[in-house]
Chain A
Amino acid sequence: MNTLTIDTSTIVASVAILNEEKLVGEMIINHQKKHSEKLMIAIDHLLSDGGLSINDIDVFGIVSGPGSFTGLRIGMATVKGFAQALNKPVVAVSTLESLAMNIPFADGLICPVLDAQRNQTYTGIFHFEDGHLVRDMADTVMEIDDLIASLRVKNETIYFLGDGLPRFAQVLQEAVPESLIVPNYLNMNRASSAGALVLERALKGETSHYREVEPFYIRPSYAEEHKK
């Protein structure tokens, strides 16, 4: 089963093709949000270099959020277009669980932190058990101080990663003594991490129809939030 997974949820644009045997190929571009211009070109390169055509893809994976609203929609609208044109299923995975998949041998809690602006973070808590990702807290948006308060009582090693780190690494390290900051090269979104989850779920038949799958914004739009 060939899966093609797209992640445009943050400044990183990434595409990966995975099947049961191997990671066929991956592209990660961590430079400027020009996802709309770059994405299809990256997909085209990856497919042709991997000796595949778009018709060989059985399942389309999408990192559905949280993240940049526009970025989420570029990826989602692209995946919906593929799935609708080729009549193939979709698997959506969260940006945060996908980040946690970057460090599968971590022996503690994994806490991805995305910069959600306004001193808030999109975050969740995970750990690995027998090589499988286990979720300990639902993806949410919260004040960084509230996250710190909830982590202080954990008494476990906590691995932090995600695009919120440039902003929050210092406060997290000061407040949570058992914290480890994941190095830069494993710190950002990569479609192969999401793709591993996509493949696992697709093999279990946990797929969605292109009309059902939606971006996972967590936050309502600013206008809805501020509507009296």
Chain B
Amino acid sequence: MKILSIETSCDETSVAIVEDGRKILTNRIYSQIDIHQKYGGVVPEIASRNHVTKLPYIIDEALAESRLSLAEMDAIAVTNGPGLVGALLIGLSTAKAMAYSLGKPLIGVHHIEGHIAANFLQFPELAPPFLTLVVSGGHSHLVLVEDYQTFKVLGRTIDDAAGEAFDKISRVLGLGYPGGPAIDAAAKNGNPDAIPFPRVMLDKTQYDFSFSGLKSAVLNYLNGKKMKNETVNPDDVAASFQLAVIEVLVNKTIACANSIGMKTICMAGGVSCNSLLREMMGQAATEAGMTLYYPDPILCTDNAAMIGSMAYYNYINGEISDLSLNGIPGLKIGTRQ
């Protein structure tokens, strides 16, 4: 079964064709990062304007690359939330019109469930149940994937998403946008033990995250230095901040997996590209006797292939959408409308 999938929830315009939920036939991604960089973050109106202009081109590219025609598609899938509502509506409107025109099923997909499914594309042997840490610019969740359609959120950020914290700290350090790769690179030249930023663990028996306190601590540190006219080494700040975030993510994930006796853990989302997270989670998983999966960076960032994978599992479980499918900015995991 071949599914054409569309993802426009934030600032990537992406179109993929995925076969049977596991095989990528094409995965085209048009990133608008260059456009939003000068604003220091994603501007929703500009993202939407670019989606509506670019989407038809990206669809044509995907078809050309895969040497397939729209008539050969068995279904059309689209992210319908969570995300920027104006951006979601572009993919959604086009997907609905295409599915209707082709007489093929329309499948709405949850963006975070898509991130989780990215691992299915890379690892043929991977099957639920497993625990997933989903960390990106907009999300920080610990999700128990019980089967292909049953998701249980065991922990989530109570304030900023991890990626959001990276973006903010990167901005104040003058390292640019997006913050994830910028901090990761700067941290390689810095001393992670230079500044003892707090590790906000909240309740040890719960698996929620909080990054706003850490963000304030970094800002206070920088302001304090400025008041005293002392110089700051941005690489040291980046490295110390990054370690504080990653330690919390790793400790919470391992503790959560232990608490439910889960031996398989996955990572997904843009922040799972972070080199320190990959290294430390890898070590911690090995020590705990757990198997860790995370996809290549191209499948960690927003992409349509992951939507096509999840769409297949929605479809075979009878989860097909109707023409009133709407874009839901705050769509909850495990729901469709």
Write the nearest CB–CB distance from A29 to chain B, whole angstroms.
13
> Which residues of A lie under 8 Å from residue B100 when comparing CB positions?
40, 43-44, 54, 82
Please tell me if A81 contacts chain B, counting CB pairs below 8 Å.
yes
> Which residues of B lie under 8 Å from residue A222 when comparing CB positions?
45
Contact A78 B97 (CB under 8 A): yes
Query: Pick the contact of A84 from B52, B53, B56, B327 — CB < 8 Å?
Result: B56
Query: Pick the contact of B86 from A69, A79, A80, A82 — CB < 8 Å?
Result: A69
Of chain B, the residue at the smallest CB distance from A88 is B101
Contact A81 B101 (CB under 8 A): yes
A75 to B97, CA, bound (A): 10
A-B contact count (CB 8 A): 106
A63 to B248, CA, bound (A): 51
Please tell me if B89 contacts chain A, counting CB pairs below 8 Å.
yes
Question: Which secondary structure characterizes the binding site on chain A?
Answer: helix
Question: Which secondary structure characterizes the binding site on chain B?
Answer: helix
Please tell me if B309 contacts chain A, counting CB pairs below 8 Å.
no
Of chain B, the residue at the smallest CB distance from A210 is B56
Please tell me if A186 contacts chain B, counting CB pairs below 8 Å.
no
Contact A73 B93 (CB under 8 A): yes
A77 to B6, CA, bound (A): 12
Chain B's interface size range is: 35 or more
Contact A81 B94 (CB under 8 A): yes
A84 to B62, CA, bound (A): 13
Write the nearest CB–CB distance from A137 to chain B, whole angstroms.
26
Contact B94 A80 (CB under 8 A): yes
Contact B93 A214 (CB under 8 A): no
Query: Per-residue CB proximity of A191-228 to B under 8 Å, as 1/0?
Result: 00000000000000000001100110100011110010
Please tell me if B90 contacts chain A, counting CB pairs below 8 Å.
yes
- A36-B89, A36-B93, A69-B45 as given contacts; A80 in contact with B56, CB under 8 Å: yes
Please tell me if A30 contacts chain B, counting CB pairs below 8 Å.
no
Query: Pick the contact of A211 from B57, B90, B324 — CB < 8 Å?
Result: B57
Query: Pick the contact of A85 from B49, B57, B91, B97 — CB < 8 Å?
Result: B97
Write the nearest CB–CB distance from A71 to chain B, whole angstroms.
10
Contact A54 B101 (CB under 8 A): yes
A159 to B185, CA, bound (A): 63
Query: Per-residue CB proximity of B39-63 to A under 8 Å, as 1/0?
Result: 1000101101101110111011000
- A44-B323, A79-B97, A85-B102 as given contacts; A221 in contact with B46, CB under 8 Å: yes
A37 to B89, CA, bound (A): 10
Please tell me if B96 contacts chain A, counting CB pairs below 8 Å.
yes
> Which residues of A lie under 8 Å from residue B46 when comparing CB positions?
221, 223-224
Please tell me if B70 contacts chain A, counting CB pairs below 8 Å.
yes
Of chain B, the residue at the smallest CB distance from A39 is B93
Contact A227 B57 (CB under 8 A): no
> Which residues of B lie under 8 Å from residue A217 when comparing CB positions?
49
> Which residues of B lie under 8 Å from residue A77 when comparing CB positions?
51-52, 55, 89-94, 97
> Which residues of B lie under 8 Å from residue A75 when comparing CB positions?
93
Give the residue among B38, B102, B324 with the most A Cβ atoms within 10 A: B324
Contact B98 A36 (CB under 8 A): no
Query: Pick the contact of B92 from A36, A55, A86 — CB < 8 Å?
Result: A36
Please tell me if B285 contacts chain A, counting CB pairs below 8 Å.
no
Please tell me if B326 contacts chain A, counting CB pairs below 8 Å.
yes
A210 to B39, CA, bound (A): 30
Please tell me if A41 contacts chain B, counting CB pairs below 8 Å.
yes
Question: In chain B, residues 88-119, which have Cβ atoms closer than 8 Å to a Cβ of chain A?
Answer: 89-98, 100-102
A224 to B39, CA, bound (A): 9
- A40-B324, A211-B60 as given contacts; A73 in contact with B98, CB under 8 Å: no
> Which residues of A lie under 8 Å from residue B56 when comparing CB positions?
80, 84, 210-211
List 4 additional contacts besides A37-B326, A55-B101; criterion CB under 8 Å: A36-B326, A37-B324, A69-B86, A81-B94
Q: Which residues of B contact A (CB under 8 A)?
A: 38-39, 43, 45-46, 48-49, 51-53, 55-57, 59-60, 70, 85-86, 89-98, 100-102, 323-324, 326-327
Could you show 19 A-B contacts with beta carbons less than 8 Å apart?
A36-B92, A36-B326, A41-B323, A44-B100, A54-B101, A69-B49, A70-B85, A70-B86, A73-B93, A77-B51, A77-B52, A77-B90, A77-B93, A78-B93, A78-B96, A81-B101, A82-B97, A217-B49, A221-B46
- The 7 closest A-B CB pairs, nearest first, are A81-B97, A77-B93, A85-B101, A81-B94, A40-B323, A221-B45, A223-B43
